[in-house]
A = this chain, B = another copy of it.
Amino acid sequence: MEAISIGLLGLGTVGTGVVKIIEDHQDKLMHQIGCPIKINKVLVKDLTKERAVKIAPEMLTTNAKDVIDNPEIDVIIEVMGGVDETRNYLLQALKNKKHVVTANKDLMALYGSELLSVAIENSCDLFYEASVAGGIPILRSLVDGLSSDHITKMMGIVNGTTNFILTKMTKQGSAYEEVLKEAQRLGYAETDPTSDVEGLDAARKMVILATLGFSMKIDLDDVRVQGITNISEEDLQYAKQLGYTMKLIGMAQIEDDKVEVSVQPTLLGETHPLAAVNNEYNAVYVYGEAVGETMFYGPGAGSLPTATSIVSDLVVVLKNLVLGVNGKSIISPQFEKRMKEPNEIRSKYFLRLHVIDEVGVFANITSIFTNHGVSFEKILQLPVKEKGLSELVVVTHSTSLKDYEEILVELEDLSSVHHIKSSYRVEGNGHS
């Protein structure tokens, strides 16, 4: 076979990394595939911009048709981002029988099932390893490495920005706003950090993971999402004192064929494998019925790590191309989606309250929990912070989300509860 011809949509940070890896590792790639890889056309916004890689000017175009309708091109690599326009480009590319590799989590979380169907119809490959946890080959591990197992739980630190912020807040004892600024200065957070810090970015990745891991079409609306913007230094101190580490955890669980998916700040027991994942690193913890606990750790973003996943996907496409078996590896969801109801979602919770410091308050509060059948694993009653108030921190035993939410409403209504300061999910055990 002569050279295989690649079209690139986008030449930003990740696109540049793709060009660099294809150039630098050409020998290794050729050894695996049996023929050279050639980049043919690249869609860019600005033809005159300075680029970090050398690329012949005639290879650049501002017209997407030069890439997606180009008869010479075998495979499209999409690293332009965005949803609506990009979706149209990729649908067209697939209809033109071009295989697609994408790093676009937003697109895959929203339109993944549509794009995969069109890929199957056109006997095309469509791979998207880089869309979740950058350089970590987690999707391939779910689909191939653990293909024989029944996966029952996935927990991911799948957003590097928030993990960086929480790590720094924990280690430095600094406030959220201050660490956010540091993260922005270092390039770990965007100028508008909303999508990261409110948990939306992580939610999109959990949609992709849950869909693959449970073989069930999960939608973005199915994910309960809570961000990290309200986490205080006090919360982190209590977490530490109780033997927990605070992480933004994407959680996907299946029990009795029913699923729950959430992204929430979570107090993890300090011995949990995810508790040691710090700074901008990502990791996905996978529990399989037969294999037990596994974890996949690595860089969640960055030009070259993300490009590694993209080009590794490309290698699979090209091996398939050489063997003539493209479009055969996409497996449609095996099951109809069934989501857990709030009365079926169970967890332990950390709750921090400011209460009026008067006789009978504690009894009133505990009776609310007792009425819902919820008991405490830990209780800390602490020195008065403000005049007339005292701070109450509890960790509950496992309770249903329905009961817990009702408890929160009833506590809000209680005149002796001054303020519910914070509430987080708890996973695993802290100090005894």
Residues of chain A whose beta carbon lies under 8 Å from any beta carbon of chain B: 17, 20-21, 24-25, 27-29, 31-32, 129, 135-137, 140-141, 144-150, 215, 271, 273, 276, 278, 281, 288-299, 302, 304-305, 307-312, 314-316, 319, 323, 325, 328-329, 331, 334
Q: Taking A290-B305, A291-B309 as given, write out 6 further A-B residue pairs in contact, using a Cβ cutoff of 8 Å, ordered by the A residue number.
A: A25-B290, A141-B145, A292-B298, A293-B299, A294-B298, A295-B296
**Smallest CB-CB separation from A133: which chain B residue?**
B294
Cα of A280 to Cα of B141 in the assembled complex, Å: 22
By Cβ-Cβ distance, the 7 closest A-B pairs, closest first, are A137-B145, A148-B311, A294-B298, A295-B297, A290-B304, A135-B291, A276-B276
Cα of A144 to Cα of B138 in the assembled complex, Å: 11
Is A273 touching B297 in the complex (CB atoms < 8 A)?
A: yes
**Smallest CB-CB separation from A279: which chain B residue?**
B271
- Residues of chain B within 8 A (CB-CB) of A293 are 281, 297-299
From B27, B135, B290, B309, contact of A17 by CB (8 A): B290
From B20, B147, B308, contact of A32 by CB (8 A): B147
Cα of A316 to Cα of B140 in the assembled complex, Å: 12
**Smallest CB-CB separation from A141: which chain B residue?**
B137
Closest beta carbon of chain B to A123's beta carbon, Å: 12
Is B298 touching A297 in the complex (CB atoms < 8 A)?
A: no
- Residues of chain B within 8 A (CB-CB) of A29 are 148
Is A21 touching B312 in the complex (CB atoms < 8 A)?
A: no
Is B296 touching A297 in the complex (CB atoms < 8 A)?
A: yes
Of the candidates A28, A31, A144, A331, the one having the most CB atoms from chain B within 10 angstroms of its own CB is A144
Is A148 touching B315 in the complex (CB atoms < 8 A)?
A: yes
Cα of A302 to Cα of B144 in the assembled complex, Å: 20
**Smallest CB-CB separation from A272: which chain B residue?**
B276
**Smallest CB-CB separation from A331: which chain B residue?**
B32
**Smallest CB-CB separation from A145: which chain B residue?**
B137
Is B215 touching A31 in the complex (CB atoms < 8 A)?
A: yes
Q: A141-B137, A292-B135 are in contact. Are A147 and B312 (CB under 8 A)?
A: yes
Is A144 touching B312 in the complex (CB atoms < 8 A)?
A: yes
- 21 A-B pairs with CB atoms under 8 Å apart are A21-B148, A25-B150, A25-B290, A27-B334, A28-B334, A135-B288, A140-B141, A144-B144, A146-B312, A148-B307, A148-B308, A148-B315, A281-B293, A290-B304, A290-B307, A291-B309, A292-B299, A295-B297, A295-B298, A319-B328, A323-B328
- Residues of chain B within 8 A (CB-CB) of A308 are 146, 148-149, 288, 290-291
Is A334 touching B31 in the complex (CB atoms < 8 A)?
A: yes
Q: A276-B273, A291-B308, A334-B28 are in contact. Are A145 and B150 (CB under 8 A)?
A: no
- Residues of chain B within 8 A (CB-CB) of A17 are 290
- Residues of chain B within 8 A (CB-CB) of A328 are 319, 323
Of the candidates A141, A308, A310, the one having the most CB atoms from chain B within 10 angstroms of its own CB is A308
Closest beta carbon of chain B to A371's beta carbon, Å: 41
Cα of A329 to Cα of B144 in the assembled complex, Å: 14
Q: A140-B140, A323-B325, A325-B323 are in contact. Are A148 and B292 (CB under 8 A)?
A: no
